[in-house]
Amino acid sequence: MEKVHHFMANEAKGTKIVGAVSLEDMVSKLKSPRRVMLLVKAGSAVDAFIDKLVSVSDYFSSVCVH
């Protein structure tokens, strides 16, 4: 959490960046329609992250993995 707060108070100050300290916090800040794009190498870690992401949200409009 400390890194997020530091980044938001410094590098992100005055920008449109919204910080989140947990996955649940991030999901709660997403406006509908919720869209998430992951730009990572596909594999079991990505699949596990998507499963966790979907589990903390009632609804996602789309999840796109590239």
The region that residue 44 occupies, defined by phi over 0 for left and psi between -120 and 50 for alpha, beta otherwise, is: alpha
Per-residue model confidence as pLDDT tens digits over 9-64: 999 999 988 898 888 888 888 887 777 666 667 788 888 887 887 787 766 656 66
53 & 26 share domain: no
46 & 58 share domain: yes
52 & 26 share domain: no
2 & 12 share domain: yes
Q: Read off the pTM.
A: 0.58
DSSP class of residue 31?
P
48 & 63 share domain: yes
Distances (CA, A) of 33 to 27, 57, 61, 62: 12, 12, 5, 8
- Does the structure show a pLDDT above 60 at 66? no
64: β partners: 37
- Total tally of structural domains belonging to the chain: 2
Predicted confidence at residue 62, as pLDDT, reads: 60
Domain enclosing residue 55, as ranges: 31-66
26 & 44 share domain: no
7 & 23 share domain: yes
